[in-house]
């Protein structure tokens, strides 16, 4: 994954001095055991959890939270009240907290030890009320947070911790994210535009503009040797379709190799982890980046076409969240529908740029004409998307704030071969049903571009939205239009129009 910081999470355990040193020693031992459990074994977390000494007073709590704030590797804190921990002690520290917060409501033991428990045991294991005290203060202070209750060794509990860690890592990545825009957004398009200053304030996204001529300069500097090495990689990774004229095909693929090299160098120099292109603005380029954009997405860059910087940033966010998981993440566009009764499906694709991380099988590398943009025929990877659980996510600018719109879906194998379609594509059945999903998406103002994934679920996106402080609506099982309309209206009352 390109430009991914090796993040870690700090494990902060609350207690107090009321119970004596023996109790505090046991609290520390239990907290170390739980923190360490996330770092190994069958269900290992995506990032290390770092145990910190047990906290028993306001000064130490504020100090450790300020240290977490100052640490570039700490992507969030995980709190747990092993005993009672009077929560006024936490107020100063929480006032200093801007990083993601996960609050665990758990205890060392799973079962009540009926035969042996005494009042010492009761004093030691009282997160049942200690976590309520901490929860009261975080609720009263309205701290953005996630609460996970259950026994720490249970699979589902741990999965939810890891989901939050992935969302927190993506939100932390976003705070330093640069989305390089080659050109502006496509002329007259509403949904791909937005308030870039507000986006910086909300997510941290920086979205500087670059003239495509700046990239053209990098293109001139690409050496034939570098192109040759990349062509060898293409030969082994993809099935090259030579078409009627092999020389023409290979020459056009070489042009995309040069674009890939130039883009990688340019984005590296600008410390950008995401980028956009625009087919209306290609001066100095022979082809619209197709294969090049697909390859950069596969290596972890966020991308969206037509200057859609919000979707490019979301593709990057989902790439970070999905790091190491089976499945993929791609830029996507709802292209066309299958509206046969009982077989409602959306065909997602783009004119070129779909990420091969979602491919069902080895892609083919092909060269075909492109109807728009007025440039040479671009090389692109062509494939069908893999079937499985999927999710579409789009951030839209509502004028005074951002809304995250998600739709759960089932990606499915195509019932017939696409014999003439020269682009990568994926078919999915949106949940809860075709008509409801499409109506809800349009009522919510979700755009035609999305970040599409087969690696994540709605909880990742809900956690991300909570951390970033934006509205999140999820269209999925159980969604009904009248209730969904009301949810949007009520949300508007809370978030502002």
* Residues that bind Mn ion in the complex, under the rule CB under 5 A: 305-306, 333
The answer to whether 65 touches 77, Cβ cutoff 8 Å, is yes
CB of residue 340 to Mn ion, shortest distance in Å: 25
CB of residue 448 to Mn ion, shortest distance in Å: 7
For the beta carbon of residue 459, count every other beta carbon within 10 angstroms.
16
Which are the contacts of 112, defined by CB distance < 8 A and separation ≥ 6?
none
Torsion-angle region of 142 (φ positive above 0: left; ψ -120 to 50: alpha; else: beta):
left
Closest to Mn ion by CB, 134 vs 331, is 331
Q: 104 in helix, strand or coil? A: strand
Closest to Mn ion by CB, 305 vs 321, is 305
CB of residue 306 to Mn ion, shortest distance in Å: 5
Closest to Mn ion by CB, 131 vs 306, is 306
Nearest C-alpha neighbor of 479 from the set 451, 449, 441: 441
CB of residue 152 to Mn ion, shortest distance in Å: 44
Residue nearest to Mn ion (CB): 333
Nearest C-alpha neighbor of 49 from the set 34, 38, 57, 65: 38
> What does the H/E/C string look like for 370-401?
CCCCCCCCCEEEECEECCEEEEEEEEEECCCC
The answer to whether 299 touches 199, Cβ cutoff 8 Å, is no
CB of residue 313 to Mn ion, shortest distance in Å: 16
CB of residue 225 to Mn ion, shortest distance in Å: 35
Strands 329-338, 345-349: pairing kind: antiparallel
Closest to Mn ion by CB, 179 vs 305, is 305
Closest to Mn ion by CB, 203 vs 303, is 303
Closest to Mn ion by CB, 374 vs 496, is 374
For the beta carbon of residue 206, count every other beta carbon within 10 angstroms.
19
């Amino acid at each position: 994954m390109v430009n991914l910081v090796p993040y870690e999470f700090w494990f902060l355990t609350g207690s107090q001095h009321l119970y004596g040193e023996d109790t505090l020693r046991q609290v520390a031992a239990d907290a170390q055991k739980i923190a360490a459990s996330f770092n190994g074994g069958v269900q290992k977390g995506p990032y290390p959890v770092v145990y910190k000494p047990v906290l028993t007073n306001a000064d130490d709590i504020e100090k450790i939270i300020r240290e977490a704030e100052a640490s570039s590797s700490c992507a969030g804190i995980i709190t747990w009240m092993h005993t009672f921990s009077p929560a006024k002690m936490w107020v100063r520290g929480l006032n200093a907290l801007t990083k993601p917060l996960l609050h665990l409501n758990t205890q060392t033991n799973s079962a009540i030890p009926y035969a042996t428990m005494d009042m010492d045991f009761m004093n030691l294991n009282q997160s049942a009320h200690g976590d309520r005290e901490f929860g009261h203060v975080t609720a009263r202070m309205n701290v953005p947070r996630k609460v996970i209750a259950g026994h720490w060794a249970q699979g589902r509990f741990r999965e939810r911790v890891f989901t939050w860690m992935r969302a927190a890592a993506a939100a932390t990545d976003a705070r330093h994210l640069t989305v390089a825009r080659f050109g502006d957004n496509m002329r007259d398009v509403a949904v791909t535009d937005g308030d870039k200053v507000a986006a910086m304030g909300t997510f941290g996204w920086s979205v500087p503009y670059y003239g495509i001529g700046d990239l053209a300069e990098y293109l001139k500097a690409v050496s034939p040797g570098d192109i040759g090495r990349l062509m060898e990689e293409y030969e082994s990774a993809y099935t090259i379709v030579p078409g009627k004229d092999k020389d023409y095909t290979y020459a056009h693929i070489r042009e995309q190799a040069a674009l890939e090299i130039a883009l990688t160098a340019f984005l590296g120099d600008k410390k950008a982890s995401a980028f956009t292109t625009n087919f209306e603005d290609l001066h100095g380029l022979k082809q619209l980046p197709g294969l090049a954009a697909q390859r950069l997405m596969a290596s972890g860059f966020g991308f969206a076409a037509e200057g859609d910087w919000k979707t490019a940033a979301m593709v990057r966010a989902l790439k970070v969240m999905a790091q190491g998981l089976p499945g993929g993440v791609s830029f996507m566009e709802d292209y066309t529908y299958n509206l046969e009764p009982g077989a409602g499906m959306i065909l997602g694709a783009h004119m070129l740029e779909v990420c091969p991380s979602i491919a069902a099988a080895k892609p083919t590398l092909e060269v075909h004409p492109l109807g728009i943009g007025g440039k040479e025929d671009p090389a692109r990877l062509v494939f069908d998307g893999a079937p499985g659980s999927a999710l579409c996510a789009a951030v839209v600018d509502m004028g005074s704030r951002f809304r995250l719109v998600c739709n759960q879906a089932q990606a499915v194998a195509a019932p017939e071969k696409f014999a003439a379609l020269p682009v990568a594509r994926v078919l999915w059945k949106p949940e809860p049903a075709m008509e409801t999903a499409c109506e809800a998406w349009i009522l919510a103002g979700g755009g035609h571009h999305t970040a599409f994934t087969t690696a994540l679920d709605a909880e990742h996106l809900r956690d991300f939205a909570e951390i970033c402080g934006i509205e999140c609506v999820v269209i999925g099982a159980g969604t009904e239009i009248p209730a969904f309309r009301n949810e949007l209206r009520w949300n508007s009352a809370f978030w502002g129009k």
